Amino acid sequence: MPVHQANGSVILTHPKGSSVELLLYGATVISWKAGTITSPEPTERLFVSSKAALDGSKPVRGGIPVVFPCFGAPTHPDHSRLAQHGFARSQVWTFHSTVMDSDAGVSVRLTLDPTSSIGSTYDKPFHLAYVVTLEEHQLSTDLHVTNTSTSSAYPPDNLEFQALFHNYIRAPANQVLVFPLQNNKYYDKTETTEEGRNNVKAEARTAVDVREFTDSVYEDAPPQYEVTWPGGGVKIEVKGLKDVVIWNPQRVAGTKLTDMEDGGWEKFVCVEPGYVRGFAKIEPGKTWVGQQVISVIHHERRTNQL
Ligand X SMILES: O=P(O)(O)OC[C@H]1O[C@H](O)[C@H](O)[C@@H](O)[C@@H]1O
- Cis ω before 180 (30° cut-off from 0): yes
Nearer to ligand X, 129 or 245 (CB): 245
- x/- track of binding to ligand X for residues 147-186 (CB under 6 A): ----------------------------------------
Shortest Å, Cβ 175 to ligand X = 20
* DSSP at 267: S
Torsion of CA 169, 175, 181, 183, to 10 degrees: 150
Can you say which residues are annotated as belonging to the binding site for substrate? 61, 84, 89
Nearer to ligand X, 93 or 265 (CB): 265
Shortest Å, Cβ 72 to ligand X = 6
- Which regions of 92-248 does DSSP assign to beta strands (E)? 94-101, 106-112, 127-134, 138-146, 159-165, 168-170, 177-179, 185-188, 201-202, 214-218, 224-229, 232-239, 243-248
Shortest Å, Cβ 151 to ligand X = 32
Q: How many CB atoms lie within 10 A of CB 200?
A: 9
Residue 207 sits in the site that holds ligand X (CB under 6 A):
no
* CA neighbours closer than 13 Å in the CB half-sphere of residue 113: 5
Catalytic residue among 272, 298, 299, 300: 272
Nearer to ligand X, 37 or 73 (CB): 73
Nearer to ligand X, 112 or 270 (CB): 270
Catalytic residue among 21, 135, 166, 226: 166
Which residues within the stretch 74-93 sit at the binding site for ligand X (CB under 6 A)? 84-85
Backbone φ and ψ of 255, nearest 5°: -70, -15
Q: Is 166 designated active site? A: yes
Residue 189 sits in the site that holds ligand X (CB under 6 A):
yes
- By beta carbon distance, the residue nearest ligand X is 247
Q: Is the dihedral of CA 18, 177, 271, 226 positive or negative?
A: negative
Nearer to ligand X, 189 or 235 (CB): 189
> Out of 247, 265, 268, 275, which residue is the one contacting ligand X (CB under 6 A)?
247
CA–CA separation, 5 and 21 (whole Å): 10
Residue 215 sits in the site that holds ligand X (CB under 6 A):
yes
Asked whether 40 and 46 are in contact (CB, 8 A), the reply is: no
* DSSP at 253: H
Residue numbers at the binding site for ligand X (CB under 6 A): 59, 72, 84-85, 189, 215, 245, 247, 270, 272
Q: Which residues are catalytic?
A: 166, 272
